[in-house]
Chains A and B, each alone.
Chain A
């Protein structure tokens, strides 16, 4: 035996294979013993929720893009009132984009027995690039989809035009100088609503682009709308083409997508996306907390294991390999099961949504699975790996001295890793540094606040409990003794309940808001250019035919020319409501194009986009006068006039006023019908632009502009089968202009129904994650409670006493968590609703009762249910197991 021999000559014969095999056996034994189940379940939940949400949003995003593309008949559109250069189309084609052209104009169509104003649209032979035109051989039937427009020499007409012109398929119509044959009836066209008033001025007449010259209708100065359509499956190709367009033409031309085209859809989509993002963030966060808690408990229960392994000759490095292998296997299992479950969850969501998703969904890409898998890896790395790797530091002497545990790693190091992991995950998902900072900052602030408050609450409840009966006394002393763990528990419970409350309240408010935005009885037809003398006739027409009609608003075109005697000096800020336009404003923009060729109009092709928009908002606005504040308006500053107000006051939309630098009490001069009118600003209003109702930037007090002569605007709700009556209406009141928005409203309602269902499902997913956290958190202190209660039972405490004290302790923790969660939820909601979701914050009174109550019932239920075993198995068994 060599005396000098030491470690250098000792060799370790444990191969990697042996260690990995041991890790697998350890894992299996832990699974069988229930040690690893909650950790694996939390991991699977994280992967499932993230993969499920990512798959769903990926496909929904694609579907909505497709649907929105259908609304445009293309992926992107270039609009102009003048012919855009042909070079644009050539450049697009050279970049691999598909292109088409349309030209909208209004014209009279004649037949041998009648005539009517039609909304004509000439299309190139590649139209439509997205979606389908539905055509039929007879009026008012279902029709079949085609992906082309009419051939040369033919026209397609909407059903009601045929009855108005007393013709049938195969007859001729005259448009300008051209005689064209009606070959089909148009039942639906994808981009019916995209042309503003030019496309809504009457029934559709679609013709081939090649026949436009024959009609000789389109002349220099005609009111026309040119549209170039582009499509490509790759968004980056579209974006780079758009960039080229902006650079080449200095923002004179640019591409628009459905978000630019429809305020209502864009708003719903943005809010839904924010909600889904927030939902998935909460889901990951909660699953992460569950993983952190279960991993910590798992590692604590493995101290002895590691000490024994070390005693039998395992080195720290080998312990590291064993637990790393366990992590890898856990990650793989959770990724496989999580991805499958995630796929099933998203299929479930789609099943539920099949009635509202009207387009066939494109298959999802591989990214959602990558996101889900990476979530498992990141969650493990940040939440589970640190406590498990810290196990390496367990001293082998622990086999002799139980009080020894890891020495090098501080107890809070795992939490630090978890925090970094959380910040990384939030940043990665949201791709938004600001949102990440705000969210992380708020959670940190809340955590700090919670720890102080909950510590104080537990402390005071402890002293109250001292004066109560024995179960109370037992519960309170237990709560006080575990004050440190209880504060952590209250924090975790509070943050979990808070997340669930935020999501539930936000979901309810969002859905309520959307339902209020477009209720069932939203009017779907606008009637404009009505004279005072026609009002009575129109009202009786509606009454006779059972059509629901609304009030008549006077309408007059006005322009701001001076504020306090000076020329208005608008801000160049485009990102405000002042940039919006309602249906009435959109119609007016079209009016301007014909009335005012000087360029003083909304975004014409003749000037750069942004300049055009700035000038556009200074241009004419359709104004009105009213006694009462319109339903969806809210006075934000100043006051609305009462019944006895004198003439000479005006109320202005708040963002428009701020854009023009107008203040309450200012004197504003308007040019109306070539006369100057001056009025004092008495109030600012917020206007709900997305409610599809007549909305106005400027409202005068009665008597101020009444004498200047106005036309009237009204709205009506007409069912599909009542649309034929539009022909009679136009015949009876030929000067009236009707704008049909029924198809648009239907489309918006469909999209909102889709996102509502999606939001409901995401909420359920997050709820499951939350339940998992609560369970993990209760389990985290289970061993200690088991031990203590076993000792109490050994000392003669009855089942009833122990169960009652457990009930009291958990109820108290739950109630404290519920109170703090409610405060946190209301505070966060205030920020989220005001800043992110642009909603009005409403105080939720019921939550102040429900929050603490839910906390109490849920935590007490979970806690007592998990620990009640302590009274059903013998104390000896408990003591043996945990000694």
Chain B
């Protein structure tokens, strides 16, 4: 599903070249749930950005569902993101001028789907916000905002979901509920989930935990307590839906 080959990311700073990721290689299978953990500055968010095609690597490649990101420019990566990738962010990234419903509708509308409103309402109902669809982000609590963000992430029916510290801005109780919802939907949609966190409790809910220290993978372990989240319902994996 996701193949990472010798991925390196360096940036120029006033004090010289800073290497954030050092020749990272990793394979993630379809429907796997992977937690990338590490201290602040370990390079985990950078790795997430590169895997999702939000940024380009200094060297190495990410093969996303068979598509080499290194060979693509930003325009092509955008098309790929639109068709395969969903996101959940630490700071929710809801657009303040749009209502909850409109925020969820946005990616569906981008696909030109005339059923955007119906689908978005269904998803909002699924995350328990059917009564709050007309509220603006500023009128929602942090937990509610993240629910909207999760509904939006699944709205595109993407095959890979990237989550960047999804509970980072939430209290423990709310965070737990959000995580529960995220994994529930992940199972329901048979999505490959890659999340970045420094929250060990969250990491332990994933089937695999990859630990980064100073831009290098220091451990990559299966979480036997969870097992894989490979779809058992017999649904066709999402990658088949992509025009390849």
Task: Name B145's closest neighbour in chain A (CB-CB).
Answer: A880
A314 CB → nearest B CB, Å: 6
Given A21-B112, A33-B98, A396-B81, 15 additional A-B pairs, CB 8 A? A6-B68, A6-B71, A13-B111, A14-B110, A21-B109, A307-B93, A308-B93, A308-B95, A311-B54, A312-B107, A312-B110, A395-B55, A396-B74, A399-B54, A400-B49
| Smallest beta-carbon distance A686→chain B, Å | 63
Q: Is B118 an interface residue (CB 8 A)?
A: no
Within the assembled complex, what's the spacing in Å between the Cα atoms of A18 and B54? Answer: 23
The residues of A that contact B156 with a CB separation of less than 8 Å are: 312-313
Chain A 189-206, CB within 8 Å of chain B: the 1/0 string?
000000000000000000
Main secondary structure of the interface of A (DSSP, over half): helix
State A21–B244 Cα separation when bound (angstroms). Answer: 28
Contacts of A30 in B (CB 8 A): 97
Judge whether A12 is part of the interface by a CB distance below 8 angstroms: yes
* Interface pick from B82-90, B174-182, B218-226, B227-235: B82-90
Nearest residue in A to B96 (C-beta to C-beta)? A881
Query: Closest A-chain residue to B140, C-beta based?
Result: A880
- The listed residue with most B CB atoms (<10 A of its CB), out of A3, A14, A312, A881, is A312
Contact B243 A10 (CB under 8 A): yes
**Which residues of chain A come closer than 8 Å to B66, judged between CB atoms?**
1-3, 5
Chain A residues, Cβ within 8 Å of B17: none
The answer to whether A396 touches B79 (Cβ under 8 A) is no
Which of A21, A308, A316 makes the CB contact (< 8 A) with B106? A308
Residues of B within 8 A of A2 (CB): 66, 244
A360 at the interface (CB under 8 A from B): no
Provided the pairs A12-B79, A877-B138 are in contact, do residues A33 and B97 lie with their beta carbons within 8 angstroms? yes
Cβ contacts under 8 Å, B242 to chain A: 10
Contacts of A10 in B (CB 8 A): 67, 76, 79-80, 83, 242-243
Q: Which of B45, B68, B71, B79 contacts A313 (CB 8 A)?
A: B79
Query: Is A397 close to B, CB under 8 A?
Result: yes
Whether B213 is near chain A, meaning CB under 8 Å from some CB there, is no
Cβ-neighbour of A315 out of B65, B79, B138 (below 8 A): B79
The 3 closest A-B pairs by CB, nearest first: A313-B82, A7-B76, A33-B97
Within the assembled complex, what's the spacing in Å between the Cα atoms of A399 and B112?
23
User: Contact between A312 and B81 (Cβ–Cβ < 8 Å)?
Assistant: yes
| Residues A261-286 near B (CB distance < 8 A) | none
Most buried by B among A309, A311, A395: A311
Q: Across the interface, which residues of A come within 8 angstroms of B78, CB to CB?
A: 310, 313-316, 396
Residues 30-88 (chain B) with a chain A CB within 8 angstroms: 45, 48-49, 52, 54-55, 63, 65-68, 71-76, 78-83, 87
A7 to B80, CA, bound (A): 8
CB contact between A881 and one of B48, B138, B243 (< 8 Å): that residue: B138
User: Once the chains bind, are B71 and A314 in contact (CB under 8 Å)?
Assistant: no
With CB as the reference atom, state the residue of chain A lying closest to B72.
Answer: A7
What chain A residues lie within 8 Å of B95 (beta carbons)? 304-305, 308
The 8 A CB mask of A300-337 against B (1 = contact, 0 = none) is 00001101111111111100000000000000000000
B243 partner residues in chain A, CB cutoff 8 A: 9-11
A316 to chain B, nearest CB (A): 6
Scan residues 204-255 of chain A and give those whose CB is less than 8 A from a CB of chain B.
none
The one of B68, B83, B89, B109 that contacts A18, using a Cβ cutoff of 8 Å: B109
Contacts of A35 in B (CB 8 A): 97
Judge whether A29 and B82 touch: CB under 8 Å: no
- Determine which of B48, B54, B63, B83 lies in contact with A3 in the assembled complex, contact meaning CB atoms within 8 Å: B63
Bound complex: CA of A15 vs CA of B109, how far in Å?
A: 11
Which residues of chain A come closer than 8 Å to B52, judged between CB atoms?
Answer: 311
What distance in Å separates the Cβ of B47 from its nearest Cβ neighbour in chain A? 11
Chain A nearest CB from B101 CB (Å) reads 11
Minimum CB distance partner of A883 in chain B:
B91
Q: Does A25 contact B (CB under 8 A)?
A: yes
Does A413 make an interface contact (CB < 8 A)? no
Q: Which single member of B55, B75, B137, B244 contacts A1 (CB below 8 Å)? A: B244
The chain B residue with its CB closest to the CB of A33 is B97
Q: Is B239 an interface residue (CB 8 A)?
A: yes
Partner of B75, one of A6, A11, A13, A316: A316
Cα–Cα, bound, A33→B111 (Å): 24
**Contact check: which of A29, A32, A309, A402 meets B110 at CB < 8 Å?**
A309
What chain A residues lie within 8 Å of B80 (beta carbons)?
A: 7, 10, 313
Cβ contact of B79, chosen from A3, A7, A395, A399, cutoff 8 A:
A7
Known A304-B95, A400-B45; contact A14-B111, beta-carbon cutoff 8 A: yes
A358 at the interface (CB under 8 A from B): no
With both chains docked as a complex, state the minimum distance between the C-beta of B1 and any C-beta of chain A, in angstroms. Answer: 9
**What are 14 A-B pairs with beta-carbon distances under 8 A?**
A6-B71, A7-B71, A10-B67, A14-B110, A14-B112, A313-B81, A313-B82, A315-B79, A316-B74, A317-B75, A396-B78, A400-B89, A400-B164, A402-B91
* Closest CB in chain B relative to A513 CB, distance in Å: 52
Chain A, interface size category, equals: 35 or more
Contact B72 A396 (CB under 8 A): no
Chain A residues with CB below 8 A from B112, complex form: 13-15, 17-18, 21
Please name the residue on chain A nearest to B138 by beta carbon: A881
Tell me if A22 is interfacial: C-beta within 8 Å of chain B.
yes
- Residues of A within 8 Å of B239, CB to CB, are 1
Closest to A32 in B: B97
Known: A10-B80, A400-B45. A880 touches B89 (CB 8 A): no
Nearest chain A CB to B212's CB is how many angstroms away? 15
Complex CA distance for A605 and B136, rounded to whole angstroms = 83
Closest to A880 in B: B138
> Quick check: is B157 within 8 A (CB to CB) of the other chain?
no
A767 to chain B, nearest CB (A): 31
Chain A residues near B73 (CB, 8 Å)?
7
Q: Which residues of B contact A13 (CB under 8 A)?
A: 111-112
Distance (whole angstroms) from the CB of A157 to the closest CB of chain B:
79
CB contacts (< 8 Å) of B71 on chain A: these are: 6-7
- B-contact 0/1 string along A23-49, CB 8 Å cutoff: 001000110110100000000000000
Docked pose: A660 CA to B21 CA in angstroms: 88
CB-based nearest A residue for B80: A10
For A2, A9, A400, A883, the residue with the greatest tally of chain B CB atoms inside 10 Å of its CB is: A400
Pair B67/A315 contact, Cβ less than 8 Å:
no
CB contacts (< 8 Å) of A396 on chain B: these are 54-55, 74, 78, 81
B contact residues around A395 at 8 Å (CB): 54-55
Q: How far is the CA of A466 from the CA of B106 in the complex (A)?
A: 49
Docked-complex contact B89 and A399, CB < 8 angstroms: yes
**A315 near B75 (CB under 8 angstroms)?**
yes
A304 to B103, CA, bound (A): 13
Q: Which residues of A contact B111 (CB under 8 A)?
A: 13-14, 18
Residues of B within 8 Å of A3, CB to CB, are 63, 66
Q: A9-B243, A14-B110, A22-B110 are in contact. Are A400 and B96 (CB under 8 A)?
A: no
- List chain B residues, Cβ under 8 A from A9: 243-244
Report A-chain residues with C-beta under 8 Å of the C-beta of B107. 312-313
Contact in complex: B54, A397 (CB < 8 Å):
yes
Which of chain B's residues have a CB closer than 8 A to the CB of A1?
A: 65-66, 239, 244
Smallest CB gap from B86: residue in A: A312
Q: Knowing A3-B63, A6-B72, A881-B138 touch, does A397 contact B110 (C-beta < 8 A)?
A: no
**Interchain nearest-CB distance for A791 vs B (Å):** 17
Chain B contacts for A315, CB-based, 8 A? 74-75, 78-79
Which has the most chain B C-beta neighbours within 10 Å: A18, A308, A314? A308
- Taken together as a complex, chains A and B put the C-alpha atoms of A838 and B22 apart, in Å, by 75
Q: How far is the CB of B12 from chain A (nearest CB, A)?
A: 13
The A-contacting residues of B in range 92-134, CB under 8 angstroms, are 93, 95-98, 102, 106-107, 109-112
Task: List the A side residues contacting B98 at CB < 8 Å.
Answer: 29, 33
Near B by CB (< 8 A), chain A positions 713-757 give none
In the bound assembly, the distance between CA atoms of A177 and B71 in angstroms comes to 108
Q: Which of A397-434 contact B (CB under 8 A)?
A: 397, 399-400, 402
- Contacting residues, chain B, for A33 (C-beta < 8 A): 96-98
Cβ B81 vs Cβ A311 within 8 A: yes
In the complex, what's the smallest C-beta–C-beta distance from B134 to chain A, in angstroms?
12
